Chain A
């Protein structure tokens, strides 16, 4: 997936395999992985002669944002799918917490 994200143009299976230099992967392995990514909607593919060309469906930042929004419980459902360490607090409460931190002799790192 990193290879697809780093590329500006759609890539064939062979091109992806060549860019995965640090790993010695069989052509069919790369093909299977790309096929699976396409089926899950993470990659788009188009015919180019006899080969498929693959492209990332959305950029990496979009997925990171989705991940974080879900993690911070911002998707609207309190489904308890994940458990967050600390919850969001309001600005006034943050001021109270900041003072509590200072009273412990610690400097808030921002």
Chain B
């Protein structure tokens, strides 16, 4: 049996490689829901395995897996660092250092999740207050708020008191059928709380802002969430309405920036093209047994580090 430290390190490396492969794969467009589950499993498993591999380095073999071994390892190392001299004390200090690194990584991951949630709540509260002062209803878009601004925008503010917001520019740009498709898309976001799916990935982006893989993961999951909402909207509206709405809003956005800030921001050409192509030339969803296989893989990916952390072999 391999020592857990090697298995956990392999899982951490494997999930990162898997994420890179998944980011460039095309099958997720055919079943965005299953792909999102796999992304979540990869993220969770990577975090557990990375923390666990460091902990396993400093752990002593014990009954309760790596987590228990790390605790008793810390206690033993503290005792021998305090009581002994020379080589044993150095080994004890090294063991304490990797355990501290493991605890620090765990704390960092927890902290960015809390910080990202708090930042999102604050931003949304401010946004809602501004909406209550500025926005008004419009019979053309029942249930949505309208903000008087010429640039075409349509978005939702998720949360317990959620809102769908349409700009006056969008009202002018789209016809009634296209507006209904936009509303169906946004309602799908709100109903399924897609913002909660994205939150951990944006938190990871906070923890590792320089990592290309983390940025890629965020962008990919964000695109999959949009596709999921597109699919949901298709149950109520024809694909063509949603596609022309997307095209019109996308076309109107370019080259008509309300401020200098807009030009500086990276664009999302490939994402928009992929969504439109998907609507106009739909591909068959993945067969049910393939989707089940993807979900089982996801469960397995998480189960391996969890088992090693909690159980000894």
Contacts and interface: CB of A to CB of B under 8 A. Distances in A.
B133 A63 contact: yes
B269 A86 contact: no
Interface residues of B, number: 65
Interface in A49-68: 60, 63-68
A85 B155 contact: yes
B90 interface: no
Interface residues of A, number: 44
A87 interface: yes
A81 B267 contact: no
A19 to B, nearest CB: 16
Contact of B254 (A1, A40, A78, A88): A88
A107 B176 CA distance: 16
B147 A96 contact: no
A67 B254 contact: no
B153 A64 contact: no
Given A85-B155, A87-B250, A88-B267, A79 B120 contact: yes
Interface of B: 116, 119-120, 123-124, 127, 129-131, 133-134, 147-149, 151, 153-158, 165, 167, 173, 182, 185-186, 189, 194-195, 198-199, 201-202, 205, 218, 222, 225, 240, 243-255, 258-259, 261-262, 265, 267-269, 271-273, 276, 280
A90 interface: yes
Contacts of B269: 89-90, 92-93
B273 A93 contact: yes
A42 B12 CA distance: 49
Nearest to A81: B123
A64 B148 contact: yes
Contacts of B195: 80-81, 83
Most buried by A among B116, B186, B248: B248
Contacts of B173: 109
Contacts of A80: 120, 195, 198-199, 201-202, 222
Contacts of B205: 78
A24 interface: no
Interface of A: 1, 40, 42, 60, 63-74, 77-94, 96-98, 100-101, 104, 106, 108-110
A66 B130 contact: yes
Given A82-B127, A89-B269, A97-B276, A108 B251 contact: yes
B253 A89 contact: yes
Given A65-B259, A78-B218, A79-B120, A71 B244 contact: no
Nearest 7 A-B pairs (CB), nearest first? A94-B254, A87-B268, A85-B154, A93-B269, A86-B249, A81-B123, A80-B198
B123 A68 contact: no
Nearest to B277: A100
A71 B252 CA distance: 16
A87 B134 contact: no
A97 B133 CA distance: 35
27 contacts: A64-B134, A64-B149, A68-B153, A71-B155, A74-B265, A78-B205, A80-B120, A80-B195, A80-B201, A80-B202, A80-B222, A81-B119, A81-B123, A82-B157, A86-B250, A86-B253, A87-B253, A91-B254, A96-B273, A97-B251, A97-B276, A101-B248, A104-B244, A104-B280, A108-B251, A109-B248, A110-B251
